[in-house]
Structure 1
């Protein structure tokens, strides 16, 4: 497994010039492909291993295009050839309209808003809940009612409390960030990770100058120039790609509803119907599988997980990925 700190400014990555510190979604696509090619040149014994590109959250916009770039590079004869097999997405942002827009449906299904608020908002906002007409007073009123009902929630996982990030309770997931900072800024740890001394003053879990939020404008450091990756997914169908998508069913950041909507738009035949899957003899979530020619898409939810699935439900997340890789001949081909 390879972890890459991308774009520049994330994790332990750094740039020597201001120009090199600037990036964008589309540039990140090229950097992902360039990175794996350079890595394989330095580690040629892994050339025949099946390769799956993966990413979480905002990378749901980038990884499909980066996967396509890898397929295209192979087709054009670029060396080294990457034994690309498919991709894995967890809690992905795939379309900046439909994913954010699906929060209304999510709030209604989880009884965070009443039937009355839901129906009234649908009627007055005409299906658009994120770019509402400022002259539409009734729509704005209903959106305000929704905000009153949901603003006090932890939208990363609606089951979790809202924590004081500066002084979190030990039971809050935010407390883990403090200890993670202690670990990542330890010089012994950085030496073990081969972090170049002097390149990073202080490691931070998030670079807020890059972090995306709904309708965020481009910054001097980053251009958010990919709006949707749905068309990239359509092109992956023709590449006979193997795809796994995982959503925590309590994630309101990018709800499972939005994911299901764009998957439906691909118009794929269902190979395996919706059914529960198990970990440690307990229902861990639900999944379905689509297939067309040599292409497959497995979509799975993890019960009780939020946006950071691996943190909320590590055993279940590992179980799903491990099983999926095993059934795609990963262990036999490696």
Structure 2
């Protein structure tokens, strides 16, 4: 693993820095930049913003679409090892992974007033970040630019794309060669959660009788209703991993700080005894065990030094900063999709079809409401000679697709299929 760790440090060194955004540059936005492994001079440039809001882009880099990943193995007290990701999206594009909003990942505020977080601040700071980054990297000014994200990023990203487009129209410099955007399992409106119930029924998770009762009593409006109306539904589905209904539910990840601290204490105090016990503080069979390892990796002193993390800027790195206040000011990004479509921007909207958090039914619903003409109707798309999902394209240059067997963070569950899809789409090929 030594060679791969050196590969990582060589790749990242010089590619991870800060860009000052906001009033007085008081928000120091941290980013990881990885050039395309193919032809960085001509390949597209993707700016990636993770959801949450407040989840670090290290999630996407290390667990989903980056060139290396943390090896899933029993933690032994040392820095976790890395493995190559053969399905990295950096094989066909350069990617900027940015930690925004403030207090996400390694991004920090220099003043108390700069620590505020909200949708519109996120939109403006991301827009400012990209223009500043391109000024510092003029060799990428002519590259096609796309904006990508997942989950909650479905709210700010269409707004960010519109802000960039309007900035170009106003003559803001540098001009950005904006081409489109990509979203997976992304929120669009608060009504998205309505579709968890029909999704659950279609997947055989709830009975016909319960589904019919919910439809009758809630009139198909499951948002902002009396919680007593959906208690039965919540109880029946409470044992599921809602991010991927096929996986075992592993609740330990939500209290990861306590688990990590306690496990580290035991390993340090009773190394031999602890390793031989059957204590199950963080079960290896859980897919999200790598998040536990990621905490150790990102907080390793040598890793932080390689990433040029400024001493004293933040304390412990957290995968997601859900405990930091955030103003959700944009209720829906639907109108922004409409505006961007009118301007001719390309978009790829896709869903892992086993995600219960933002079900594919919700995404299909708002796309259908656009009422755009269908160019290529519903059909399977293939990867490695097998059906990988289903797709449909529209006259507004929007492509919708499902990934068969995918969860909420789709490439984490179906890396090869997602790479095939992305490679085709980013190259203007049909799926």
**What TM-score, normalized by structure 1, do the two folds share?**
0.89
Q: 2: CA distance between counterparts of 1:29 and 1:42?
A: 20
Deviations 1:157-208 (A, max 9, x none): 0001011334232121220101111111112222222222221221111112
Q: Which among 230, 236, 239 is matched to residue 340 of structure 2?
A: 236
Deviation at 1:27, TM superposition (A): 1.3
> Does residue 1:162 correspond to 2:249, yes or no?
yes
Q: Residues 160 and 90 from structure 1, CA distance in 2 versus in 1: closer, same or farther, beyond 3 angstroms?
A: same
Aligned partner of residue 304 in structure 1, secondary structure? coil
Q: 1: CA distance between counterparts of 2:105 and 2:424?
A: 29
Deviates more, 1:54-63 or 1:303-312: 303-312
Q: 1: CA distance between counterparts of 2:403 and 2:299?
A: 32
Query: Who is 1:216 aligned against?
Result: none
Question: Contact 1:251–1:307 (CA<8 Å) still a contact in 2?
Answer: yes
> Does residue 1:182 correspond to 2:293, yes or no?
no
**Alignment of structure 1 residues 179-218 onto 2, 5 Å:** 179-210=293-324
Q: CA RMSD in A?
A: 1.4
Deviation at 1:59, TM superposition (A): 0.6
Q: Which among 232, 247, 250 is matched to residue 145 of structure 1?
A: 232
Q: 1: CA distance between counterparts of 2:416 and 2:184?
A: 15
Deviation at 1:155, TM superposition (A): 0.3
Query: Who is 1:40 aligned against?
Result: 134
Deviations 1:135-164 (A, max 9, x none): xxxxx34x1211121111110000010113
- Structure 2: give runs of 5+ residues left out of the alignment: 1-94, 254-258, 260-280
Query: Who is 2:355 aligned against?
Result: 251
- Structure 1: give runs of 5+ residues left out of the alignment: 135-139, 211-218, 330-334
Number of matched pairs: 309
Deviation at 1:61, TM superposition (A): 0.1
Question: Contact 1:99–1:258 (CA<8 Å) still a contact in 2?
Answer: yes
Q: 2: CA distance between counterparts of 1:238 and 1:129?
A: 32
> Does residue 1:104 correspond to 2:197, yes or no?
yes
> Does residue 1:94 correspond to 2:188, yes or no?
yes
Q: Which among 122, 125, 129 is matched to residue 222 of structure 2?
A: 129
Q: 1: CA distance between counterparts of 2:293 and 2:384?
A: 29
Question: Contact 1:168–1:174 (CA<8 Å) still a contact in 2?
Answer: no
**What TM-score, normalized by structure 2, do the two folds share?**
0.70
Question: Contact 1:11–1:205 (CA<8 Å) still a contact in 2?
Answer: yes
Q: 2: CA distance between counterparts of 1:88 and 1:108?
A: 29
Query: Who is 2:59 aligned against?
Result: none
- Structure 1 runs of 4+ with >3 Å offset: none
Question: Contact 1:102–1:257 (CA<8 Å) still a contact in 2?
Answer: yes
